[in-house]
Amino acid sequence: MTGKGGFQHYKFEVPEIIFGRGLLRQVGSCARRLGGKQVFLVSDQGVFKAGWVDLAIKSLHESGLNVVYFDQITPNPKDYEIESGFREYVAKGADVIVGLGGGSAMDAAKGIAILSANGGRIGDYRGSDKIHRPIPPLVLCPTTCGTGSDVSQFAVINDTEQLCKFTIMSRCIAPDISLTDPETLLTLPQHHVGSTAVDALAHAIEAYFSIAASSLTDVNALQALTLLAKSYVRAVREHRIEDLEDLSRASLHAGMAFSNALLGIGHALSHPIGGLYDVNHGDVNAILLPEVVKYDYPVVTEKIAGLLNALGCELKGNEEFAEEMTVSVIENLLDAGGSPRGLRTLGVREEDLNKLAELALQDVCVLTSPRQTDAEDLLGILKRSF
Ligand SMILES: [Fe+2]
């Protein structure tokens, strides 16, 4: 953030990061050196079927640890799933948590960790800095390429009574270790490779535009964009490990950027949509992103040359078409990777748009939007994205 004299003051925090092909086999030694004996492993049935849960359990056993396996997690993890995981954690006397999967499994692992140290209901911790006691040791291993939850200070949980998502933001919930094995992407279905990578695209752009961006977050956001421009489309089409590894790295860089710079109105809008309809988070972001960029554009013009350069475009000589270029390079990337167009294709109802705009205005991500917004403007973005 820029201070009164034009100086910047910021913090930049990331967990220990371990990244490389085949390194999921080291999850046991990671959990052991954090002092655990009884590991609570949170994953989901898709990751289990792909064989990664067995590999992780083998590694944990080889490190002399006991394992309690919990997989009662669905996409857009629900408050009651977190609370049932917490009861299981306590009943089994676990003392370290490993989250293995996409954003849902990792955010669920964070939620269980919060309750195990602080008690209460998970909804008690919505918002910023509500967690007072440190959580148990936590290792997060992403098996998708967009969430960034493995490096972030956020968890997003579905409130099943209010039918909305809420964000928990606290430095306390960044894990001790982020362990990424890009080989796990080899078993991820093509659509999920695409939809999680565009979530990383949205993270990078929203973090880059954020009023809390710094030189440290910008360098990570731009690196994520460079990797996505280079490898996203080919990774979706051909599923080669070299390209998938680039997407894993893009997710990591975008995660470091948005965990520290936070996000903007794209995610403020996508959270209530995910809460109301239980739809794919990456698909929602992909649909909203072009209109979000158009909306933010007038207040981020000084950052556009950097954005275009990272995406492989030269602004020099094309300054008068800068806005069109920016939007079309993003739309072309989304289209080439097969992202959906139009919120209506996800089942969003036109009569809900007003309510969604009002809910988005309450989302914590609005606070770092580069352009001050209101419900009317947010409704306009929803209508143009419909
Ligand atoms: Fe996201």
Helix (H) or strand (E) holding 154: strand 154-159
d(CA 380, CA 386): 10
Between the CA of 90 and the centroid of ligand 1 the distance, in Å, is 30
Chain centre to alpha carbon of residue 172: 17
Between the CA of 254 and the centroid of ligand 1 the distance, in Å, is 10
Closest listed residue to residue 98, CA positions, set 180, 163, 175: 175
pLDDT given for residue 334 in this prediction: 97
Tokens of 347: 């089942």
* Residue 198 CB neighbour total at 10 angstroms: 29
Between the CA of 284 and the centroid of ligand 1 the distance, in Å, is 9
Between the CA of 294 and the centroid of ligand 1 the distance, in Å, is 19
Domain locations in the chain? 16-184, 189-384
* C-beta of residue 362 within 8 angstroms of C-beta of residue 289: no
Between the CA of 300 and the centroid of ligand 1 the distance, in Å, is 21
Between the CA of 203 and the centroid of ligand 1 the distance, in Å, is 6
Q: Are strands 127-128 and 66-70 parallel, antiparallel or unpaired?
A: unpaired
User: pLDDT digit of tens for each residue in the chain (386 aa)?
Assistant: 554 445 677 889 999 999 999 999 999 999 999 998 999 999 999 999 999 999 999 999 999 999 999 999 998 899 999 999 999 999 999 999 999 999 999 999 999 999 999 999 999 999 888 999 999 999 999 999 999 999 999 999 999 998 888 999 998 999 999 999 999 999 999 999 999 999 999 999 999 999 999 999 999 999 999 999 999 999 999 999 999 999 999 999 999 999 999 999 999 999 999 989 989 999 999 999 999 999 999 999 999 999 999 999 988 888 889 999 999 999 999 999 999 999 999 999 999 999 999 999 999 899 999 999 999 999 999 999 99
Between the CA of 154 and the centroid of ligand 1 the distance, in Å, is 10
pLDDT given for residue 7 in this prediction: 60
CATH topology of domain 16-184: Rossmann fold (3.40.50)
Between the CA of 27 and the centroid of ligand 1 the distance, in Å, is 25
Between the CA of 242 and the centroid of ligand 1 the distance, in Å, is 23
Between the CA of 62 and the centroid of ligand 1 the distance, in Å, is 34
Residue 86 neighbours by CB under 8 Å, 6+ apart: 111, 112, 115, 116
Between the CA of 185 and the centroid of ligand 1 the distance, in Å, is 18
Locate all alpha helices (DSSP H) within the chain, ordered by sequence.
27-33, 45-49, 52-62, 79-91, 103-118, 190-209, 215-238, 241-261, 265-277, 281-296, 304-310, 322-336, 353-361, 375-384
Residue 110 neighbours by CB under 8 Å, 6+ apart: 99, 135, 138, 140, 149, 155, 168, 173, 175
Between the CA of 115 and the centroid of ligand 1 the distance, in Å, is 23
* C-beta of residue 101 within 8 angstroms of C-beta of residue 47: yes
Compute, in degrees rounded to 10, the torsion defined by CA atoms 144, 145, 151, 155.
Answer: -60
**CATH architecture, domain defined by 189-384:** Up-down Bundle (1.20)
Between the CA of 270 and the centroid of ligand 1 the distance, in Å, is 8
Between the CA of 309 and the centroid of ligand 1 the distance, in Å, is 23
pLDDT given for residue 3 in this prediction: 47
Between the CA of 183 and the centroid of ligand 1 the distance, in Å, is 22
pLDDT given for residue 315 in this prediction: 84
pLDDT given for residue 6 in this prediction: 54
240 φψ region: left (φ > 0), alpha (ψ -120 to 50), beta (else): beta
Strand order from edge to edge, sheet including 66-70: 16-19, 177-180, 138-142, 96-101, 38-42, 66-70
d(CA 153, CA 364): 13
Between the CA of 265 and the centroid of ligand 1 the distance, in Å, is 11
Between the CA of 200 and the centroid of ligand 1 the distance, in Å, is 7
Between the CA of 157 and the centroid of ligand 1 the distance, in Å, is 12
* C-beta of residue 181 within 8 angstroms of C-beta of residue 22: yes
Between the CA of 285 and the centroid of ligand 1 the distance, in Å, is 7
Q: Which amino acid is at 155?
A: A
Between the CA of 16 and the centroid of ligand 1 the distance, in Å, is 21
d(CA 4, CA 100): 43
Between the CA of 202 and the centroid of ligand 1 the distance, in Å, is 7
Between the CA of 156 and the centroid of ligand 1 the distance, in Å, is 9
Between the CA of 151 and the centroid of ligand 1 the distance, in Å, is 13
d(CA 147, CA 197): 8
Between the CA of 374 and the centroid of ligand 1 the distance, in Å, is 21
Between the CA of 35 and the centroid of ligand 1 the distance, in Å, is 31
175 CB burial (10 A radius; 0-12, 13-18, 19+)? buried
**How many residues comprise the chain?**
386
Between the CA of 146 and the centroid of ligand 1 the distance, in Å, is 7
* C-beta of residue 182 within 8 angstroms of C-beta of residue 248: yes
- For 263, half-sphere exposure in the C-beta direction (CA atoms, 13 angstrom radius) is 30
d(CA 35, CA 95): 8
Between the CA of 152 and the centroid of ligand 1 the distance, in Å, is 11
Between the CA of 282 and the centroid of ligand 1 the distance, in Å, is 7
234 CB burial (10 A radius; 0-12, 13-18, 19+)? middle
Closest listed residue to residue 12, CA positions, set 215, 284, 249, 282: 215
